Structure 1
């Protein structure tokens, strides 16, 4: 393995945004440390991309489980060294109804994966990055962080948490040489959005998103909404008075709950 090439460590690389970002970094010549629950499927993808063991390793982890997530990071440290870029993109987006007991479990798992999983992705590498004096930590949030959407309580809460957590971490690491970048996607055509029953303005392909995210991460931009049009729309929604915001979303389709999704 060419240890001179920069190293990307990325969670949630088995589909959607994570996979598109992994492909973009491979194109840029990075070595890849890919983290996924489905190791065989992840390895098949790497093989299909022509990424042999000299360019890519796959690490198994359940990012909703702290010990599993941290262990994957430590295996990467042992096998490949301290990454140059860490992207925490593992996440889930499932609708919830607080009147349903089973949906409290959905919320607990969403927060464990989307929030604690982000911190657990960063944790193993912080000491090494600080000692080296360089590195970039990337949290993947969502425009759903800007305002709460009906039926999206778990997802909106988790992504608002990613934004706040990354902002806190950025302040903690000021002056260390380690940058924290918060990427805020709008609507991207991935498995997470495939079952949405409502309009998704400015819908992007994963590849188009990855190209813009790659540039923002390389520039170590602290906060970037992609596409920019969604950033403008989100800011407008943020300043709407609550009664007007509530009226605007009245009757809007809700994200499907787990029991409403097809199996698999």
Structure 2
């Protein structure tokens, strides 16, 4: 039995110019990035948990001239994801690797804390699995002296969110890992880019109840992200207004910022993690 399930458009690899792997490609930012990169001469390796949605994105990408393959991967299984990545890169070296998959949750109003099993899932999908895979790709790209890695974080990394401590904590860890890996890999001509978006109009943010200030479309987010990756930037934060909130929280006494964040009382529609 093939442990690397794949569907692919027929192609000759001799004419492929670049191989791009995107996790979380079945929706949201990952799907928008897949379509943004879709063009003749590009081979897209799309990872996600929903085979049907992955195939829909793959077909759209093919219409723009890209070749595609899809892999149903559960990032809660770090070892299997790592094995798949090693297999794919050994077959056809990856030029750009974008870790866009992520999950979020907000503490239920009836609970004093977030639910432990959900915290575990968030830590694995948002932090431990992507940094494991990014480390493997960094080593392989460093040997080849070429490559780009991008990790999709969040502006939540810079704020102590009382109602989403696991989410903000996982993104904070991812942010520090990303900038540290960038420092380590730049001498090897491998560029690691941390992406810190604010509200993007994706299924994840659509679960929130209330205003989503400075909302950005997935398509605009994908354009900004691909440009930053192409430039080899260490960090992209958008919209820029969130740079101001980051600085303000750093300058204000923590007791005051925590009080304000508790008052915010963000809620979400009843839902399971998707």
- Give the deviation of 1:174 after TM superposition: 3.5
Indicate whether 1:248 and 2:260 are aligned.
yes
Task: Point out where structure 2 has 5 or more consecutive residues left out of the alignment.
Answer: 1-10
Aligned partner of 1:56 among 39, 48, 68 = 68
Do the aligned residues in 1 keep the contact of 2:106 with 2:267 (CA within 8 Å)? Answer: yes
How many residue pairs get aligned? The number is 260
Indicate whether 1:207 and 2:219 are aligned.
yes
Aligned partner of 1:198 among 210, 213, 218 = 210
Indicate whether 1:99 and 2:112 are aligned.
yes
Indicate whether 1:162 and 2:159 are aligned.
no
Give the structure 2 partner of residue 181 of structure 1.
Answer: 193
Q: How does 1:227-242 map to 2 (within 5 A)?
A: 227-242=239-254
Deviates more, 1:211-220 or 1:112-121: 112-121
TM-score by length of structure 2 reads 0.86
**Stretches of 4+ aligned residues off by more than 6 angstroms:** none
TM-score by length of structure 1 reads 0.89
Deviates more, 1:113-122 or 1:227-236: 227-236
Deviates more, 1:44-53 or 1:234-243: 44-53
Question: How far apart in 1 are the matches of 2:118 and 2:146?
Answer: 37
After superposition, the CA RMSD in angstroms is 2.4
Give the structure 1 partner of residue 7 of structure 2.
Answer: none
Question: How far apart in 1 are the matches of 2:63 and 2:71?
Answer: 15
Task: Point out where structure 1 has 5 or more consecutive residues left out of the alignment.
Answer: none
Give the structure 2 partner of residue 77 of structure 1.
Answer: 89
Do the aligned residues in 1 keep the contact of 2:126 with 2:171 (CA within 8 Å)? Answer: yes
Question: How far apart in 2 are the matches of 1:38 and 1:250?
Answer: 35
Cα gap change, 1:255 to 1:134, in 2 (>3 Å)? farther
Question: How far apart in 2 are the matches of 1:247 and 1:62?
Answer: 37
Indicate whether 1:222 and 2:234 are aligned.
yes
